[in-house]
Amino acid sequence: MEAKSTLLTHLDYSLWATSKLLDAASRLSPEQLNRDLKVSHTSVLATLQHIYYADRTWLARLEGRKIAFADPDPGPNLEQLKELWPPVLEALKANIDAEPDINRDLTAQRLNGDTFTAARWKVILHVVNHATLHRGQVMAMIRQLGQVPPATDLFYFYLQQGV
């Protein structure tokens, strides 16, 4: 599998795993979604929002745009995340698919204002890795709330998708 195809597959994985986790979160009550579980970004919803904000911010950077990292409180609810998030991941895929050179550097600003430079392929691997880390935290929170989270491991994606 070539490098660009691998990146696109991993973005597909992130979309697949995120969708499964959003569906699992839908089975939680509003109180459970917002309960401070002392993990990651406090609650299931706040952690999901954080992943969404990060994905959206990386897309804006790749497109040469600046946006605010987070929305004003309370931010998108679960139903809004289900609507807003998949198009962001699809746009990340389209951006990389259209990129003639995934080794080309991206220069952008971090949230603290510092400038950084990184190859686009590294950015995409970071986006997927960051989301995976926080999805794992959300899965642990779902377990703490007495629910069974979905299997979102990369290998399950490969098996289901025939990759």
Q: How many CB atoms lie within 10 A of CB 16?
A: 17
Asked if the model's pLDDT at residue 1 lies above 70, the reply is: no
pLDDT of residue 51: 98
Q: What is the mean pLDDT of the chain?
A: 96
Four-point Cα dihedral 63, 113, 15, 64, nearest 10: 0
Structural domain span for residue 69? 3-161
> Rounded to an integer, what distance in angstroms lies between the CA atom of residue 131 and that of residue 127?
6
Give the pLDDT confidence of 31-60 residue by residue, as tens digits. 999 999 998 899 999 999 999 999 999 999
Comparing CA positions, the residue from 33, 27, 80, 30 lying closest to residue 53 is 80
CATH number at residue 32: 1.20.120.450
Burial 115-128 (b: 16+ CB within 10 A, else e): eeeeebbebbeebb
pLDDT (mean) for 12-25: 98
Number of domains present in the structure of the chain: 1
> Rounded to an integer, what distance in angstroms lies between the CA atom of residue 91 and that of residue 134?
21
Residues 6+ away with beta carbon under 8 Å from 35: 43, 44, 145
